[in-house]
Amino acid sequence: MNESIVIADLLPILAPIIVIQLIIMTIALVLCAKAESTRGPKWVWVLIIIFINIFGPIAFFIAGRRNEG
């Protein structure tokens, strides 16, 4: 038997992952836009956040933000 995986079968698994990705990406983009300074050009961080799913926003949270104060 060769059972093919249908998108409808994966939707309950993928939906929360997609929602989490969008939330993390939105927060990272807002923080990047509001930051007075970042480690590196902001436009590079925006590209990283958008095009490197899950890991791009996490990289910004860890390495991109400067500690103010």
Tens of pLDDT along 2-41?
567 787 788 888 999 999 999 999 999 999 999 888 888 9
| Within a domain: 49 | yes
The pLDDT assigned to 67 comes to: 67
C-alpha triplet 50, 34, 37: angle, nearest 5°: 90
| Within a domain: 33 | yes
Angle between helix axes 42-51 and 7-34 (nearest 10 degrees) is 170
| Within a domain: 61 | yes
In the chain, how many domains are there?
1
Cα–Cα dist 16/20, whole Å: 6
| Within a domain: 63 | yes
Q: Please give the residue range of the domain that contains residue 64.
A: 25-69
The pLDDT assigned to 47 comes to: 94
Cβ neighbours for 25, distance < 8 A, ≥ 6 positions apart: 49, 50, 53, 56, 57
